[in-house]
Amino acid sequence: MAEITIGSRIKKSPFYAATIEAGVTHFTIYNRMYMPTSYGDPLGEYHRLTSGVSMWDVGAERQVEILGPDARSFCDRVSARDVSKLKPGRARYAPICNHDGILINDPIALCLTEERWWLSIADGDLLQHCQAIAGSEGFDVDVFEPDVSPLAVQGPKAADLARDLFGTELVETLGFFHHREVELDGIAMVVCKSGWSRQGGYELFLTDGTKGQALWELVATAGEKYGIAPGTPHHMERIENGLLSYGSDTDDDTDPIEAGLSQWCDMDRPFVGRDAIAARHEEPEHRRTLVNVYVDVVDRNELWTADQPYPASVDGQPAGFLRTAVWSPKLTRFIGLALIPRRHAEPGTYLDIGAAGIVTGMTVTDVPFGVSL
């Protein structure tokens, strides 16, 4: 079993010490930070997330702050989604492309004030991209990383916990993707009703990195009566419920349409990458698409450690990749996401996979995994 070296080149979140103390067993590297991916009990963590409440160190979802008179127009220029009318106190999922139309991140954009926005980023160097575009196109903004670290509280009991922490008024008035500045026991944060699960919950954007331990303890203590325990963003739950993992489900040549994000792309505006995306899809049959698949697995225990993605084929010809595969506790079978040529994306199509005999094949389905039949 290989291990990862912990050192100063990779940044630690303000909750890092608390996660070690809480028994984290697995990290991934995300935005050049350590991000917990398991505390050693994937199924237990899944069930706590789907039936109780779970707390996650997602400090690696770094912020890019856009500050200045052109903050709004700048965010609208880099975002494939129209954010030109986003109000202060609101957030929006906002895919971002490079000039070639390739998806390079899928942050949540938070409008704090007219002139102050955060892009809460997935795994990719969005800071440099934004700094370069702000400079080259002459936007009157500063683009930098602020001291902000999200702690997610997710699960059906997250609202009860939030009520105990922040009061009934906040829980009853804060809608989905709304946020507000709050101070709790001298800890300043922005509370947003968001998070990378479909179980409901909040993200506490800590705005003072010296208070990570204090915030962690506050949430853990208040959550005791709801059976809270540390968890992590969870692939079983998010694949069941159709949330994209940029970089897991996509590769370096994926545009947002291929990634299934067309509903978040407002193509009638001149955002960075718009023309290139349109050109890529002039001949849509030459493009790929991300599909849900049922996965045939020989050795269930091997899948946890096997390397992904898996190359797929049809009639011996290469046919894209199974990007991500997991056990679904809800459907009691293996499911996954595959990035494959459109011509093979018809529901019911079977694709071969030769991943050292662990995964043998997959069948495309158009049934959303989150729907109980």
Least Å distance, CB 263 to ligand THG, is 8
Measured distance CA(259)–CA(339) in Å, rounded: 8
Reported as half-sphere exposure (CB side, CA atoms, 13 A), residue 261 has a value of: 30
Q: Coil, strand or helix: which one is 221?
A: helix
What's the distance, CA 54 to chain centroid? 16
Comparing CB distances to ligand THG, the nearer of 212 and 358 is 212
Comparing CB distances to ligand THG, the nearer of 244 and 362 is 244
Comparing CB distances to ligand THG, the nearer of 175 and 347 is 175
Tokens 């010490």 — which residue? Answer: 17
What DSSP assignment string belongs to 84-134?
TTPPTTEEEE--EE-TTS-EEE-PEEEEEETTEEEEE--SS-HHHHHHHHH
Least Å distance, CB 284 to ligand THG, is 23
Q: Are 6 and 36 in contact (CB under 8 A)?
A: no
Least Å distance, CB 203 to ligand THG, is 5
Comparing CB distances to ligand THG, the nearer of 177 and 222 is 177
Least Å distance, CB 360 to ligand THG, is 30
Least Å distance, CB 232 to ligand THG, is 12
Comparing CB distances to ligand THG, the nearer of 125 and 302 is 125
Least Å distance, CB 260 to ligand THG, is 10
Name residue 269's amino acid: R
Comparing CB distances to ligand THG, the nearer of 78 and 351 is 78
Q: In what order do the strands lie in the sheet with 63-67?
A: 90-93, 108-113, 116-120, 63-67, 142-144
Kindly state the tokens that stand for 333: 């079978």
Q: Which residues lie near ligand THG (CB under 6 A)?
A: 61, 92-93, 106-108, 120-122, 150, 177, 194-196, 203, 243-244
Q: Coil, strand or helix: which one is 206?
A: strand
Comparing CB distances to ligand THG, the nearer of 120 and 199 is 120
Measured distance CA(129)–CA(104) in Å, rounded: 9
Indicate the helix (H) or strand (E) that contains 261. Answer: none
Least Å distance, CB 238 to ligand THG, is 8
Q: Coil, strand or helix: which one is 207?
A: coil
